[in-house]
Chain A
């Protein structure tokens, strides 16, 4: 082997390193392009008026996203109320029962649920709630969203609790505590950062979901807080207005996109900060 051959190999190694770095950072370009574009298009549309008014009919100036904002908030809250307790209990169940048959099938089910496309969940909620109750409703939309939150919360709770040492529980049991106290007063507080991050990630995920709401909550041009009636949400409005032929509505959609983006980004960053701060060193 001679000098030139080695030089070639060294050059090749250097070259691949450069290629890897270029490709890796190229991934970020679309993200930055999207962020900048939405900021540019949306910033001029957002003002107080925009946030507190409902959309006007086509051709009329003004209008806003109030109904979608309210709808998003209401449905997220409803979905969370349903999904968080069930999800955390499910995670506790899986972390306490590693070997039982039911736990095996439960774990498998959660894995399956995680991979189900969101539109399929929408179909399910339609047949379980919209058909029987006879109309589109915010409630059915919330149920669909709750189903989507479940696997994330269950998984992260299970993973968090599995990582805690058994000695923690043993100490509590030895003091005569019953299991529900051990879990809720000792184990969960230590693992709160992991559990909370799972919860917040699931909230961030459903904030941006549209497909499950297409035929459940369906959308509502008026400000409504009634869970038994159709309701709008931010991503649903963006979809409807973006695919419409009216420029006014496109403008609304840009503003709405900026609001949604900021909301989701805020949730993600907040989650990262909180979980770092509250993480208990074992």
Chain B
């Protein structure tokens, strides 16, 4: 298997006339954790949402350039197939409020109209919840609705829901910014374990999180990919002035 899973060439994205992602060229290696950081409005979230084609759901949004997964052009596949290979976890935990924990985990299968035998469903639910270290905590309340879970647990439930679809890539859009510090650390612990089976791309505005959790970091500024390097190198010896300024807190 080739080591690059996601590749962007001259990728641009806009909201109407607002050009927010400019000419991004990046290669994301398989089974790594990639942090994408930058100040507010730098285009990092927009870029992330272009990877699984959520960007185009907004009226007036457009993009151009090449974006591939396993050398297949993402924009020539149907979005459904893209999203089955590339799962997403959002900023605020958003489990489906009318579904039980069990049903939330396999929601992806239900939505896609895939009918599975009971035994298979049980296996997927247990497997996914174990992967996110939630199985022990909820295995006796699978039929309850998830409203009693803490923020961190709800977010892990959303990760389990994404993981249940067995994607190749997991996108995280500021996954811990709505969580308290303890929940944040439980989610961050997962990143390290998940990368054995998935490639993780995590947008974060928290530099320390990027430094702690990722193998490589991409720094976006004003829509451009300014620097992309091994995390340790980026934080100790950044090559671009702008990266240097961001890391030392000159602008946020």
- Check whether chain A touches chain B (CB < 8 angstroms): yes
Residues of A at under 8 Å CB distance from B? 1, 5-6, 9-10
* Contact status A5-B113, CB under 8 Å: yes
- Complex interface residues of chain B between 102 and 137 (CB less than 8 A to chain A): 112-114
Main secondary structure of the interface of B (DSSP, over half): loop
Residues of B within 8 A of A9 (CB): 80, 112-113
Main secondary structure of the interface of A (DSSP, over half): helix
* Contact status A1-B84, CB under 8 Å: yes
Residues of A within 8 A of B250 (CB): none
Cα distance A6–B80 in the bound complex, in angstroms: 8
Cα distance A6–B111 in the bound complex, in angstroms: 12
Chain A min CB distance to B136 (Å): 31
List 12 A–B pairs whose Cβ atoms lie within 8 Å, in order of A's numbering: A1-B84, A1-B112, A1-B114, A5-B113, A6-B78, A6-B80, A6-B81, A9-B80, A9-B112, A9-B113, A10-B78, A10-B80
Residues of B at under 8 Å CB distance from A? 78, 80-81, 84, 112-114
Chain B min CB distance to A61 (Å): 60
Cα distance A71–B25 in the bound complex, in angstroms: 77
Cα distance A1–B114 in the bound complex, in angstroms: 7
Cα distance A105–B84 in the bound complex, in angstroms: 55
Task: List the 4 closest pairs (A to B, CB-CB), nearest first.
Answer: A6-B80, A1-B114, A9-B113, A6-B78
Cα distance A251–B80 in the bound complex, in angstroms: 61
Residues of A within 8 A of B78 (CB): 6, 10
Q: Which residue of A lies closest to B78 (CB)?
A: A6
Cα distance A5–B113 in the bound complex, in angstroms: 9
Residues of A within 8 A of B114 (CB): 1
Chain A min CB distance to B115 (Å): 11
Cα distance A10–B80 in the bound complex, in angstroms: 9
Residues of B within 8 A of A6 (CB): 78, 80-81
